[in-house]
Structure 1
Amino acid sequence: MHSSGHKRIDVLARHLRSSQDQSTVVQQILCEAQSDDGKVVTAEQAAALVPDNAIITVSGFVGSVHPEHVVDAVRDHFDRTAHPSNVHLYTVAAVGDGKGRGLAKLAAEGLVTKYTYGWSGLSQEFLKLAKAGKVEAWNLPLGMMAHIYRDVAAGRPGPISKIGLGTFVDPREGGGKINGPHQADAVELLTLGGEEYLWYKVPRKIDVAIIRGTTADVDGNVTFEKEAMLADCLNQAMAAHNTGGIVIVQVERVVASGSLPARLVHIPGAIVNKIVVAPLDKHQQVLSAQHDASLSGEIRAPASHIRPMPLDERRIIGHRAMLEITQPHLLINLGIGMPEGLARMVATHGRRCIPGSFPIHLTTEAGMFGGFPAGGASFGAAHNAECMVPCATMLDFYNGGGVDIACLGAAEVDAEGNVNVHSFPGRQPGCGGFIDISQAAKKVIFAGTFTAGGLKVKVDGGKLRILQEGRSSKFKAKVAGKTFAGSSANGREILYVTERAVFRLREGEGLELIEIAPGIDVERDVLAHMPCKPLMRDVKSMPAQCFQP
């Protein structure tokens, strides 16, 4: 039998073992038979192309756009052969499920020895290796990570920005180094025109970019019609191609040459080296979730499935934060966790509570304009989005002041108004887009419960009762590290919204208590849990509607 016949049989056998339907199997056989340059390969073949000592980048954002089939194959190849080894991995927002799935598959001792990331909240395995001295790690702002890829592609030395000044990524505050000061500098302080900036250094090259899309033709042109976002796949591919590296793209299906409309192609085949077709269980739209066509813009889902939140601390915080939306057509960014409650309140109560302020435009740093931001593992995506742009492009917009109101979480707050979300007892998720957003948004709301770990509250007759305090107060004498520096307020309004109290940052003076929930005793329920007493000049009651059904 001719080699082409053997090839077709191998392809048929491989795909019959997968979960793809018969039409896809036949289509793939035809496409591989037509491929002249051998771009279509197995995951195992692609994994073998990653060399030792490589600088690699893997696409993904929290739970989306993760090339799981290829990543798993790289780990399998390492387990069998001990190669690739000594890899430096760059990632914007590492995909994971908190249980070892996702990018955490590469967290094997000896495989990745250097790790530069924006957010790693669901792939804590790398940070465990860093703590044990097995991996060198650097945490940089998400926007700067996205711009690093673009600058590698463009041959520039790296982003130069005010983003990060005064925070833990400032060299004077640690330079984003996770292991300690002995590490190489990833960030340098510059003075240009008499003003301070941070220079985020780029790697000399990208040896391998492992990314994903939905459909590829046999020439390597890739579309993203079923993806929840575009992420940074294009810039990663360009960075690898322009520095002599290889680009590996995982897709759901392969089609014939010339059959993809040019307007739908996001990554051109001219810069793609290898294509890997993944079984559907290794190519989920969002890790550990079923395909939702409203996240990819294939359909518009009805909003009726969004149910009102129970009248608990999350709803109180979301409601109070929502009341800061006082004008129509504002652009708003929401962080992960507690701020997601603001989106739900907007969907269920927005027009009733603040009708004069609508319409508004909710956005995410992953690149989504409009719609209803998704939460959990789908964070960064949005149902019924109006527009989808690459992450680096959205962060350009954010860094330039495009966000009118940002609502972000808060793990620790101190008397100077500094906030820590990147590293605290029990968790080290990284800063993500927090620094980019909090330093550039026109108005910032930090949202979170007053105490953490077991807090129980009840609303009774329009008054808030604390049934059980959390084990620790979020208000500290000094935060463990600055993800937001109070010194960066620069005249902007900075609020701290909890279920029982609201504070404002007074520049040069610190926190000021401006509102207290009905039913709350200031001394017992607030000041007793704060190591430093805030300013108190004109304390009002939090709006009564926040405590109504």
Structure 2
Amino acid sequence: MKSKVITADAAAALIPDDAVVTVSSASALGCPDATLAAIGRHFEASGHPTNLTMLHPIAAGDMYGVKGIDHIAKPGLLGRILAGSYPSGPSTAEPPAIWKMLGDNLIPAYNIPSGILFDMHREAAAKRPGVITKVGLDTFADPRRQGCAMNEAAATDPVVELIDFRGEEWLFFPSIVPNVAIIRATTADERGNLSFEHEGAYLGPLDQALAVRNNGGIVIAQVKRLTQAGTLKPLNVHVPGILVDHIVVAPDQWQTCQTPYEPAISGEISRPLSSFETPAFDIAKVIARRVALELREGWAVNIGFGISANVPRILIEEGRHGDVTWMIEQGAVGGVPLLDFQFGCASNAEAIVPSPHQFVYFQGGGFDCSLLSFLQIDQSGSVNVSRLSARPHVTAGAGGFVDITARAKRIVFSGYFNAGAKFEIVDGTVRTLKEGKVKKLVPEVEHVSFSGRRAVEQGQEILYVTERCVMRLTREGVMVVEIAPGFDLERDILGQADFPLLVAGDLKVTPDRLYHAAPIGLHLAGGLHG
């Protein structure tokens, strides 16, 4: 049996000019960084490969030690990129190299919803023409808006069409056939069978390998370690060796961002609930508590980045952990979704499913509720999370946001009413120390990540929870349904929005118990407005 093991540099030398390369990664989670670094080195040394089209269904790399796509963000090497999201970081940091290329229009760059990008791989694997979907209608993915283009260079080369199918509007994403896959696992046996026992998620390597194998390309798998053929249990193999051409052993690959390895993320151990830090008592915790009031026992709940990411810890503090099942797009089901650098992973998960399957669940609206953030809200109820021209490299793109929100039964968006505001809580009342200078309620959002118009048409239940009020999306517009203690309706809410807000006739006051440090006695049997 000929060995499949090669060096990362040898793997880089196999990639032809003009190749379409698909990479399995979610920031640093599952990122085959050593192989991507070798491609960058090979280009610097030899001038090849050139003009690569890169496909990243979620994202590759971060700004905190795993460079990912930045290894190959070099003029001449990178010719085009289609990604669910891009590396991001604080506004004070040097922008990633990929953002410089995007901003200077050196390459066409696209932000395709992650689930759709996975669907495109499946269609390419089966040699079907592409994806027909309603996911993304009236968002930035719609060609009547940006059509997924992130810069002017992409605007002249569309990747999506609006079509009429049986009298209805649909989006059509033509298949893009990859001929190289770079995936990652924990262990490979000598025949190329891959297991994922130290990974924080499977992501989509099977779908990506199938798309490449069925179209005659090469599949490169980066792993931590090699084992003898026949020693992996068949149910633990998630990518069979018949799909893998080459193995790159990279013992130092990190599990996820800033995390060499944490066994509770991959399910080797379960952390005690007491080991999870509960949020400090401040205005962000009050918002998270208010979001938690909308949940119901037994729900399956998707959770995203931002203030709402603290809601699982609110439930732990209140003794309600397990009342809902958390779900994240990278594949974890149950357990405790993690924060900050480890976002996208969960500790103590009940299951980890492949991301493409998780996205099918989300796209079809099979779950009960989603808790998400916002950068902007406009008068139609639309939300922007994916692009701010003033801070392009801080906003990384939409990832799976469009897939998740397209048919979600209920969505609770949370965030601050204005950016930059400062508050304190004294004796159960909020005091404004400094009003924010940047309005987040604007006449029209800069980038439509979620369409309020389609939400109304589909009967989705939409709430917006801020530090000063709760708003609901109605057919007539965005309506204030609840006000927090310490805020004046005219001065602090209506006067701070750049479009007219409606006000409910039975305007409620947020429960007082949320504004004290002690636990609030949370019960999920019923909420205030649901």
1:516–1:540 contact (8 Å) kept in structure 2:
yes
Is 1:252 the counterpart of 2:211? The answer is no
Which structure: larger Rg? Answer: 1
Q: Deviations over 1:41-85 (max 9, x none)?
A: 011101111111110011111220011111111111111112111
Tell me how far 1:121 sits from its aligned partner: 4.0
- 1:331 is matched with which residue? 300
Matches within 5 A, 1:355-394: 359-394=323-358
1:46–1:248 contact (8 Å) kept in structure 2:
yes
Q: Deviations over 1:169-227 (max 9, x none)?
A: 11111211122374222111122222211111221x21110011011111100100010
Q: Please, which moves more after superposition, 496-505 or 534-543?
A: 534-543
Matches within 5 A, 1:97-496: 97-98=62-63, 101-122=67-88, 124-180=96-152, 182-203=155-176, 205-280=177-252, 283-325=253-295, 327-349=296-318, 351=320, 359-424=323-388, 425-427=390-392, 428-453=395-420, 455-489=421-455, 490-496=458-464
What's the TM-score, normalizing by structure 2?
0.92
**Whole-Å Cα distance in 1 between the matches of residues 88 and 263 of structure 2?**
24
**Whole-Å Cα distance in 2 between the matches of residues 240 and 502 of structure 1?**
48
Tell me how far 1:112 sits from its aligned partner: 1.0
**Whole-Å Cα distance in 2 between the matches of residues 374 and 222 of structure 1?**
26
1:403–1:440 contact (8 Å) kept in structure 2:
no
| SS of aligned partner of 2:144 | helix
Tell me how far 1:403 sits from its aligned partner: 1.8
RMSD value, Cα: 1.5
- 1:96 is matched with which residue? 61
Tell me how far 1:350 sits from its aligned partner: 5.4
1:364–1:380 contact (8 Å) kept in structure 2:
yes
1:62–1:122 contact (8 Å) kept in structure 2:
no
**Whole-Å Cα distance in 1 between the matches of residues 300 and 87 of structure 2?**
26
- 1:23 is matched with which residue? none
The letter of the residue matching 1:476 is V
Tell me how far 1:487 sits from its aligned partner: 0.8
| SS of aligned partner of 1:546 | helix
2:282–2:424 contact (8 Å) kept in structure 1:
yes
1:332–1:403 contact (8 Å) kept in structure 2:
yes
| SS of aligned partner of 2:79 | strand
**Whole-Å Cα distance in 2 between the matches of residues 144 and 477 of structure 1?**
29
The letter of the residue matching 2:452 is G
- 1:22 is matched with which residue? none
Tell me how far 1:120 sits from its aligned partner: 1.0
Tell me how far 1:545 sits from its aligned partner: 2.2
- 2:520 is matched with which residue? none
**Whole-Å Cα distance in 2 between the matches of residues 340 and 157 of structure 1?**
38
Q: Please, which moves more after superposition, 270-279 or 310-319?
A: 310-319
**Whole-Å Cα distance in 2 between the matches of residues 473 and 337 of structure 1?**
18
The letter of the residue matching 1:248 is I
Match of 1:545 among 483, 508, 513: 513
Tell me how far 1:102 sits from its aligned partner: 2.4
- 2:93 is matched with which residue? none
Query: Relative to total residues, which structure has the larger helix share, 1 or 2?
Result: 1
The letter of the residue matching 1:370 is G
**Whole-Å Cα distance in 2 between the matches of residues 452 and 95 of structure 1?**
28
Q: Deviations over 1:314-348 (max 9, x none)?
A: 211111111001x3210100111222121221222
Q: Deviations over 1:390-444 (max 9, x none)?
A: 1110111111111211011100111111111111120341111111111211101
Q: Deviations over 1:142-175 (max 9, x none)?
A: 1101111122112122221110011111111121
- 2:44 is matched with which residue? 79
Match of 1:512 among 461, 474, 479: 479
The letter of the residue matching 2:211 is A
Q: Please, which moves more after superposition, 183-192 or 137-146?
A: 183-192
| SS of aligned partner of 1:294 | coil
For structure 1, the residue ranges without an aligned partner over 5 or more in a row are: 1-35
| SS of aligned partner of 1:537 | strand
Tell me how far 1:494 sits from its aligned partner: 0.4
Q: Please, which moves more after superposition, 420-429 or 270-279?
A: 420-429
**Whole-Å Cα distance in 2 between the matches of residues 344 and 108 of structure 1?**
42
| SS of aligned partner of 1:171 | coil
**Whole-Å Cα distance in 2 between the matches of residues 44 and 512 of structure 1?**
58
**Whole-Å Cα distance in 2 between the matches of residues 377 and 103 of structure 1?**
18
1:166–1:488 contact (8 Å) kept in structure 2:
yes
2:64–2:257 contact (8 Å) kept in structure 1:
no
* Compared CA separation, residues 547 and 70, structure 1 to 2 (3 A): same
**Whole-Å Cα distance in 2 between the matches of residues 514 and 285 of structure 1?**
43
**Whole-Å Cα distance in 1 between the matches of residues 442 and 461 of structure 2?**
21
Tell me how far 1:305 sits from its aligned partner: 1.5
2:226–2:249 contact (8 Å) kept in structure 1:
yes
**Whole-Å Cα distance in 2 between the matches of residues 99 and 111 of structure 1?**
23
**Whole-Å Cα distance in 2 between the matches of residues 105 and 163 of structure 1?**
32
**Whole-Å Cα distance in 2 between the matches of residues 121 and 522 of structure 1?**
39
**Whole-Å Cα distance in 2 between the matches of residues 375 and 63 of structure 1?**
14
- 2:528 is matched with which residue? none
2:330–2:354 contact (8 Å) kept in structure 1:
yes
**Whole-Å Cα distance in 1 between the matches of residues 59 and 460 of structure 2?**
31
Tell me how far 1:99 sits from its aligned partner: 5.1
1:456–1:469 contact (8 Å) kept in structure 2:
yes
| SS of aligned partner of 2:57 | strand
Is 1:524 the counterpart of 2:481? The answer is no
2:258–2:342 contact (8 Å) kept in structure 1:
no
What's the TM-score, normalizing by structure 1?
0.89
The letter of the residue matching 1:378 is Q
| SS of aligned partner of 2:330 | coil
| SS of aligned partner of 1:41 | coil
Q: Please, which moves more after superposition, 40-49 or 335-344?
A: 335-344
**Whole-Å Cα distance in 2 between the matches of residues 344 and 547 of structure 1?**
17
| SS of aligned partner of 2:130 | coil
| SS of aligned partner of 1:258 | coil
**Whole-Å Cα distance in 1 between the matches of residues 409 and 249 of structure 2?**
44
